[in-house]
């Protein structure tokens, strides 16, 4: 079989087989804030969770200046989630069972389409994003990643000017 034929054969997914991040080069993630406000972001599957966190924060126009974590429980007490990935683990200040955001690849944390996690940014203000792996793609030569492939709604201000609100 020629080189092109071998490459094509690896991309075919058979009936009944679930595609996963491990089968491809990129993942497309939907980061939702307040339901209908979201950004679809594409990143290589080999990147760490920290890169997804930075991409989400940047896509919403926020400063990437706070601690954060990813949690498998979308509601309730996120700190009791079965899966927890936090920046604190990389700083040596995490609870038992919490995994690294710098050493965990996207393909590990999001192994299949439809996988959802809560992304919590800034433990003080608690910006909560629902993140879902919604698509798989192939890395394009010369493309810059991460890239926002779709955005819906206007992002809120990260630090609303409280003085303006008081004057109105």
Give per-residue pLDDT as tens, 116-144.
999 999 999 999 999 999 999 998 888 89
Among the listed ranges 4-13, 80-89, 94-103, 125-134, which one has the minimum average pLDDT value? 4-13
CA distance 72 to 7: 34
Express as a percent the part of the chain with pLDDT over 70.
Answer: 82
Among the listed ranges 33-47, 56-70, 85-99, 120-134, which one has the minimum average pLDDT value? 85-99
Give the domain ranges of the chain.
19-153
Tell me the CATH number for domain 19-153: 3.10.290.30
E strand residue ranges, 8-115: 26-33, 37-44, 68-71, 84-86, 99-100
């Amino acid at each position: 079989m020629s080189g092109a034929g071998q490459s094509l054969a690896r991309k075919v997914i058979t009936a009944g087989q679930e595609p996963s991040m491990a089968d491809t080069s990129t993942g497309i993630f939907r980061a939702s804030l307040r339901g209908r406000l979201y950004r679809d972001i594409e990143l290589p599957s080999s990147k760490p969770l920290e890169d997804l966190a930075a991409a989400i924060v940047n896509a919403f126009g926020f400063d990437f200046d706070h601690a954060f974590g990813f949690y498998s429980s979308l509601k309730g007490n996120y700190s009791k989630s079965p899966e927890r990935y936090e920046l604190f683990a990389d700083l040596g200040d995490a609870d038992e069972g919490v995994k690294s955001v710098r050493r965990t690849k996207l393909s590990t944390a999001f192994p299949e389409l439809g996988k959802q996690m809560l992304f919590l940014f800034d433990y003080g203000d608690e910006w909560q994003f629902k993140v879902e792996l919604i698509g798989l793609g192939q890395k394009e030569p010369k493309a810059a990643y991460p890239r926002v492939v779709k955005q819906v709604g206007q992002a809120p201000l990260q630090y609303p000017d409280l003085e303006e609100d008081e004057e109105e």
